[in-house]
Amino acid sequence: MLRRLFLFILLLVGVFISRPMWEGYLNDYVDLSFMDSISSSVDSVKENPAVIVAIDTAQDTLHSLFVQIDQAIEQTPVLQTQESEEIERPDLSPPTDQTFSVYNIQVGDSKEHVEQQLGEPVRQSQNEYGVDWYTYHENYQNFMMVSYDEGNLVNGLYTNQELISSSVGIELNSSKEAVREQLGEPLTGIRKGMIVYQIQSNEEYDVYQLDGSYATIFYDIHEENSVTALQIISEELEKNKNHLYAEESRALKEGFEYQLFDFTNASRVNHGLPILNWDDHVRETAREHSLDMAENLYFDHTNLEGQSPFDRMEEDGVRFTVAGENLAYGQSSSIFAHEGLMNSLGHRENILKSDFRFLGIGVAFNAESQPYYTENFYNQ
């Protein structure tokens, strides 16, 4: 009897799934796109009323059947599930010979030492300096990235979590005022040979030359300009980067895409939100839009054929009930792109929207190697 009941439920669900109303999920949406100071924009969420009504109807229809199931299996033992416990933060010690460390790791430490502390990396992806970021985390807790020189010594560090310690008391969530009180006025430019590269931070980050490295301290303008992330790049590695933008390559494109995905999930974990799943299908939609903007020299959610993000997703067969898109252009790295998006309210809302479950990111470069970033979020 119980088996027949389950088969009947499966049949009923199949009928609802195949109904034509599920095909018409792009009707109306709210477009809140805008440009901000970092040349980025955002389309807000689109929800599909028809799908929501269909789901509600299905739930009402099946409710009585579920009651019968509950009664039939009331005495049957049920497996219990638990949410994963929060990973314990490491004990952080102030560095003794440098200003900053991340997870007690400093520039110049060996790869062997890092992996004794952190284990094997979760991901390895190319960055704008022509080396790889090695990404370490535990389900996006204790998230950090490390790069190594040819001798397998640390020459780059990044984190946006509570892994920062310093000899001057600066840590995650310290104020901008406290940073500048301890470290002084930040750099206004970096000299490489006969060229001085001006730093245009819009007060969203400070760069300091410390201990043979460049430390970039990012601030969260929505959290009273508190420290939200730290990047450290050795002087030698910075010197080897001769242009503002790295030369386009497939490895760099994929590196930027996966790095942005990881930063997004690390930021969501910081705010107590579920992590997103990577989606190759919608990544292709995002890539096509980034490439279209790069080749045709425009920057907009609506393409030259008048298609919205939702039109493009529908055309590519991506089924969704809620979706959003973030765009960014011109940031020289995935780190600067993500930190800029987090400081722009509309983009931040998409990154931290609890309804989303899937994310695909597509990057393309124009003739001057300037990257275009497209992030497509959705839930089915």
- Centre a 10 Å sphere on the Cβ of residue 131 and count the other Cβ atoms it contains: 16
Q: State the pLDDT confidence band at 186, using cuts at 50, 70 and 90.
A: very high
Predicted pLDDT of residue 200: 82
Residue 225 has pLDDT above 50, yes or no: yes
Q: Which two tokens stand for residue 374?
A: 């497209």
Residue 124 has pLDDT above 60, yes or no: yes
Q: Is the dihedral of CA 248, 249, 250, 252 positive or negative?
A: negative
User: Considering only CA atoms, which of 212, 192, 204 is closest in space to residue 149?
Assistant: 212
Whether 300 and 290 have beta carbons less than 8 Å apart is answered as no
- Residue with the two structure tokens 């310290």: 174
Digit-coded pLDDT (tens) for 62-110: 444 443 434 443 333 333 323 345 677 778 999 989 999 999 999 999 9
Separation CA 293–CA 285 (nearest Å): 13
Q: Which domains does the chain have, with CATH numbers?
A: 1-75 (no CATH), 100-242 (3.40.33.10), 252-379 (3.40.33.10)
Q: Per DSSP, what are the bridge partners of residue 153?
A: 110
Separation CA 125–CA 254 (nearest Å): 7
The secondary element (H helix, E strand) that includes residue 45 is: strand 40-47
Residue 318 CB-half CA count within 13 A: 26
Quote the strand ranges of 211-350, DSSP E.
Answer: 213-220, 226-234, 277-278, 322-329
Q: Mean pLDDT, to the nearest integer, of 356-368?
A: 97
Predicted pLDDT of residue 212: 96
Predicted pLDDT of residue 77: 35
Q: Which two tokens stand for residue 23?
A: 């095909």
Predicted pLDDT of residue 15: 40
Q: State the pLDDT confidence band at 195, using cuts at 50, 70 and 90.
A: confident
Summary mean pLDDT of the chain: 83
Q: Which segment of 37-51, 136-150, 276-290, 326-340 scores lowest on mean pLDDT?
A: 37-51
Query: What predicted TM-score, i.e. pTM, was given to this entire model?
Result: 0.79
